[in-house]
């Protein structure tokens, strides 16, 4: 089978298409013929840094990047009960760890996958994995009906799912984005929009129940100022919060946490249900073929992607 192999960290030129052996499956795994792959910022961050590869995937080389897949089950392990040959499935495989998604076939634990609902394409299903799981795992345990929620970067991969999921939970949703993306984020259900280029959100907002931060740094620091006493902020990029952030959070009695998404069967089933009933719909702004994985990475690295980037196999 064809796979995109990374022998050492570096630029997109290090993503090499090679012919390798098809993976064998364990008792609780299924073999998936991959039809679509979702690409995320973590993909290019891992690709470009040996230390990050070690942290996420271990120190054995080469590696096959990627975690988000949609495809068809072609083989099942002896103890698999959830799927059978021919099922259409999607999921985030083995995150944190080796997902090996950049390949024509992937061996995936059955409890990392869900069936693709009728009417949902492989591309849409692949897009509704890591980013959607992140939004779900951040919001579902913490946000309730009537909460005032600020979602930063609402037009991004995680952000555009977060708006939809927060609305499905009954929250009042405020989001930041550039002015050109206002119509898009409002179409997702956002109740209030802030143009981060012309407005300082910390000057117009207050008494929020929850903030979903994608940036850390000054944006996280200023987010603490707009959360009510006893409120919560979840930040994605790094658990390494500065002393200023810890001090301000303590002063305002705001709970600031870091979250790393995890593969989870129940959450994948929840996403399948939300796709099926129309509560969420992925926005795919760019689609590339397998031979152009490098271009997919460069598109994401540009920082100008609205919604998701998908690669077809």
pLDDT at 240 (0 to 100): 75
Residues of the chain with CATH 3.90.180.10: 2-128+282-312
Indicate the average pLDDT of the chain. Answer: 97
Once rounded to an integer, what is the mean pLDDT over residues 167-191? 98
Once rounded to an integer, what is the mean pLDDT over residues 254-281? 97
> Architecture of 2-128+282-312 per CATH?
Alpha-Beta Complex (3.90)
Count of beta carbons in the 10 Å neighbourhood of residue 273:
13
Percent of the chain residues past pLDDT 70, beyond the cut = 100
| 251 Cβ contact partners less than 8 Å away, ≥ 6 residues apart | none
pLDDT at 221 (0 to 100): 95
For residue 239, pLDDT beyond 80? no
For residue 77, pLDDT beyond 80? yes
Retrieve residue 290's tokens.
Answer: 């397998």
Place of tokens 């927060």: 166
For residue 183, pLDDT beyond 90? yes
Once rounded to an integer, what is the mean pLDDT over residues 40-51? 96
pLDDT at 225 (0 to 100): 97
pLDDT at 146 (0 to 100): 98
For the segment 186-235, what is each residue's pLDDT rounded down to a tens digit? 999 999 999 999 999 999 999 999 999 999 999 999 999 999 999 999 99
CB 246 within 8 A of CB 258: no
Once rounded to an integer, what is the mean pLDDT over residues 243-259? 95
Per-residue pLDDT band for 297 (boundaries 50, 70, 90) equals very high
> Architecture of 132-258 per CATH?
3-Layer(aba) Sandwich (3.40)
Spatial distance between the Cα atoms of 264 and 63, rounded to a whole number of angstroms: 23
Spatial distance between the Cα atoms of 166 and 136, rounded to a whole number of angstroms: 9
Retrieve residue 264's tokens.
Answer: 């989870």
| 134 Cβ contact partners less than 8 Å away, ≥ 6 residues apart | 158, 161, 236, 259, 261
**Which of 109-137 are b and which e, b meaning 16 or more Cβ less than 10 Å from the residue's Cβ?**
bbbbbbbbbeebbbbbbbbbbbbbbbbbb
pLDDT at 262 (0 to 100): 96
Place of tokens 């407005």: 199
- The Cα-based distances of 53 to 13, 63, 98, 201, 307 in angstroms read 17, 9, 10, 35, 25
For residue 241, pLDDT beyond 90? no
For the segment 152-162, what is each residue's pLDDT rounded down to a tens digit? 999 999 999 99
Residues of the chain with CATH 3.40.50.720: 132-258
pTM above 0.75, yes or no: yes
Place of tokens 């984020």: 185
pLDDT at 94 (0 to 100): 97
């Amino acid at each position: 089978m064809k796979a995109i192999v990374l022998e050492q960290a570096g630029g997109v030129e290090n993503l090499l298409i090679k012919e390798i052996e098809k993976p064998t499956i364990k008792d609780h795994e299924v073999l998936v013929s991959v039809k679509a792959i979702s690409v995320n910022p973590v993909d290019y961050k891992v690709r470009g840094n040996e230390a990050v590869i070690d942290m996420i995937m271990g120190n054995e080389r080469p590696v096959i990047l990627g975690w988000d897949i949609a495809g068809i089950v072609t083989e099942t392990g002896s103890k698999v009960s959830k799927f059978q040959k021919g099922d259409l499935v999607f999921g985030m495989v083995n995150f944190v760890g080796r997902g090996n998604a950049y390949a024509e076939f992937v061996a995936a634990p059955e409890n990392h996958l869900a069936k693709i609902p009728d009417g949902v394409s492989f591309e849409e299903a692949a897009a509704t994995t890591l980013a959607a799981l992140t939004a779900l795992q951040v919001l579902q345990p913490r946000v309730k009906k009537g909460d005032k929620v600020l979602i930063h970067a609402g037009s991004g991969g995680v952000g555009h799912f977060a708006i939809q999921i927060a609305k499905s939970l009954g929250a009042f949703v405020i989001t930041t984005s550039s002015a050109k993306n206002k119509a898009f984020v409002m179409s997702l259900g956002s109740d209030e929009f802030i143009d981060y280029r012309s407005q300082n959100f910390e000057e117009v907002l207050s008494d929020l129940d929850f903030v979903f931060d994608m940036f850390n740094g000054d944006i996280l620091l200023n987010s603490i100022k707009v959360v009510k006493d006893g409120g919560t902020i979840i930040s994605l990029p790094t658990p390494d919060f500065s002393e200023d952030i810890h001090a301000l959070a303590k002063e305002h009695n705001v709970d600031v946490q870091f979250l790393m998404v995890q593969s989870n069967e129940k959450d994948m089933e929840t996403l399948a249900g939300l796709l099926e009933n129309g509560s969420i719909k992925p926005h795919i702004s760019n689609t590339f073929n397998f031979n152009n994985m490098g271009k997919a990475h460069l598109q994401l690295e540009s920082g100008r992607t609205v919604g998701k980037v998908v690669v077809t196999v």
